[in-house]
Amino acid sequence: MEATPAGTRFRLLTYNIRAMRDSRPALYRVIRACGPDVVCLQEAPRLLLWWLHRWALRRATGLVPAVDRRSCGLAVLVRPGVAVLDARHTLLTRRRGLHRRAVSAALLEIGGHTVAVASTHLDLEESARCDHAREALEHLRRFAGGAPRVLAGDVNGTPGGAAWRIITAELSDAGAAAPIGEAGTFTARRPRRRIDAVFTGPGLRVLGSGVPVDDLARADVRAASDHRPVIADLAPDPRTER
């Protein structure tokens, strides 16, 4: 395998943090231990004093906001030094009786390379989940403008399910392409299902993706949220560069 220069690699973390209702010190330790360059959050605080809770998380982890809107509990955070070239938060089609869904996207420059990263949280109801998966892909495709794409988040479905198939018809499942650590993400105490994932488009090489259990204290992972974090180590794919 061709060596990848260290400066061109970056680590993306996707994490459903359950509105920070669990142990905050454990949550902060988990995020810091993952060592991310980019963080896609789902179920970030969005109710009373939401901005203060998110500020506390950023302060404790040293991250800065790329997209940090209140609605739908999404955020994209980055380490200092990652340039944010553009950002967008898009509401998806409303479904009566269901939670409103969205996609938060940031166009980033990391190590001299541009990448479009989006965070989303799909619905528990399958029809809405599938429709919103298609919408999220379309919004990210238009937003990226030809840059390599990453879609990360809580799919609320498992590999082989309808929404997963919709996404992987266009993007690659990083955890299947180069698995590391453990696969199960839900629940944090009994991780029997993989419902959180990172998906990548052309222009990126997956060096490894999964739950980085060797780097994390299991007690912290169980205490921090009802989901486990998923990381993806990514690099530009020289085979697609012109």
Q: Where are the domains of the chain?
A: 8-240
CATH number of 8-240: 3.60.10.10
Which pLDDT band holds residue 8 (cuts at 50, 70, 90)? confident
Q: Which amino acid is at 133?
A: A
pLDDT per residue as tens digits for the range 129-184 = 999 999 999 999 999 999 999 999 999 999 999 999 999 999 999 999 999 999 99
This prediction's pTM: 0.95
Write out the DSSP string of 164-223. Answer: HHHHHTTSEEHHHHSB-SB---B-SSS--B--EEEEE-TTEEEEEEEB-GGGS-HHHHHH
